[in-house]
Amino acid sequence: MGSKFYPIHKLTKKIYEEMQEGLDTVAEHLRSMNIKTPTSVEDLNKSIMLSLPEDCFDQEGMIATLAQNYNTLAEQFIALADEAEMIKDQLTLDLAVERARANKKQQWLLKSNLTADF
């Protein structure tokens, strides 16, 4: 991936582990409400339509795409928080705010590794 391979590898591993834990929490909450959860990454991606990197050897482009995807996820959780607030579902509201905040943090961590503005 280039000169940033090792630090980006460590960062994305940390992000992946945090995201995995967050996804488990979201899935448990959905199941507690008798809502079916996606069964694969492909199912989840179809519902959100995240971008894929155009060139997996372009480290700046890949980091920028990942950062944008985390922003998209944060926006989805913010929309969920707004809806949960309207129906006075405090548990979903709290979870949505927590996940939006986590995704914005991941976006920032990724963007801080870019050398150019994407």
- Model confidence at 55: pLDDT above 60: yes
Residue 115 binned pLDDT confidence (cut-offs 50, 70, 90): confident
CA 98 to chain centre: 12
Average of per-residue pLDDT across 87-92: 97
Mean pLDDT of the chain: 89
- Give pLDDT, residue 66: 92
- Model confidence at 117: pLDDT above 80: no
pTM to 2 decimals?
0.85
Angle between helices 5-32 and 59-86 (to 10 degrees): 20
Give residue-wise pLDDT tens across range 17-47: 998 899 899 999 999 999 988 777 677 667 6
- Give pLDDT, residue 1: 53
